[in-house]
Amino acid sequence: MQILWRGNANSWECDELGHLNVRFYMAKAQEALAGLADRLGMNLAFAPNATATLIPRDIVIRFLAEARPGAPLQISGGVTSHDGASLTVAMILYHAASDTPAATFEIRAEHCAAATGRAFNWPARSLKALSVNEVERPALMTPRSLSETPASTTLSVAAANALNLQEIGRGRINRDELDAFGRMRAEFGIGKVSDSVIHFSDGFPEQWEAFAKGEPLTAASAVLEARLNFRRFPAQGEGYVLRSGLKSATDKVRTLIHWALDPVSGKPLWSMEAVACMLDLKTRRLAPVSPERLKQLQSKTQPDLVF
């Protein structure tokens, strides 16, 4: 693997838990993807005048260690596979000083016309560069608890209503959230969920109750693994609504399903499956839940929820 990005965890990128927010993990991975594009001979792939670009469609992230404010970080990666019009990239985010992994990313991106987003075949020069940049898929990339079912074609506002999925977020796509071509950047797929998940009282009743009582949090929700699928990247001014359900729960982790939907057409924009835990804010370790709390969580689960 080759180094594709170097930087740090800025204080303003860290959230109320005191560590790098998930959106900025993904933002740094996006920069690393652009670094890989340079090695594929696509150095202008993310510039406004690009003719071809790489659009992420499927992303799997594993969060392995916290990144606290100021931590020096770097990302190494390479191509693990490709077909006629797409590639799959493996990347590892390291704590640079200790050379220990903080996160992994597996991204399937399509080779697309920059203006329209339409996928088209690689030119011969790119196929050669793809072969040069091939790497073995590290075992560290393999998810532990995420499902492997393909993204569903049945997501809609009507389906969310029928399943009584909680509305946890609603908003707009803003100008500063766009890429060079006017589409929402992929980091906001996970970022919009992160901004809204505090409303998910079925999934994280501990937090909701603490805020309702005005009590300080002793534990807070943290994502361990996640996967995202993008059906369509909305443009500036478009709205979205987030509908969420609890798929399963154990005394240690809970699996959440989030649907981001167009509130006007009811059609899907993106979806996310996440395996999360409650993080003890004092010990910085996973906080097991009590039998009573687990019973409450499991009463809310919907095992057949699709991603």
| Same domain flag for 167 and 271 | yes
Q: Which of 116, 142, 168 is the last residue of a domain?
A: 142
Spatial contact of 260 and 157, defined as CB atoms under 8 Å apart: no
pLDDT tens digits in sequence order for the chain, 307 residues long? 999 999 999 999 999 999 999 999 999 999 999 999 999 999 999 999 999 999 999 999 999 999 999 999 999 999 999 999 999 999 999 999 999 999 999 999 999 999 999 999 999 999 999 999 999 999 999 999 999 999 999 999 999 999 999 999 999 999 999 999 999 999 999 999 999 999 999 999 999 999 999 999 999 999 999 999 999 999 999 999 999 999 999 999 999 999 999 999 999 999 999 999 999 999 999 998 999 999 999 999 999 999 9
| Same domain flag for 29 and 152 | no
| Same domain flag for 90 and 231 | no
What's 159's domain CATH number?
3.10.129.10
Give the count of domains, the chain. 2
* Domain encompassing residue 294: 144-307
**Residue/partner pairs of 184-187 with CB below 8 Å, 24 or more apart:** 184/233, 184/234, 184/235, 185/27, 185/30, 186/26, 186/30, 186/56, 186/59, 186/228, 186/230, 186/233, 187/23, 187/24, 187/26, 187/27, 187/30
| Same domain flag for 14 and 133 | yes
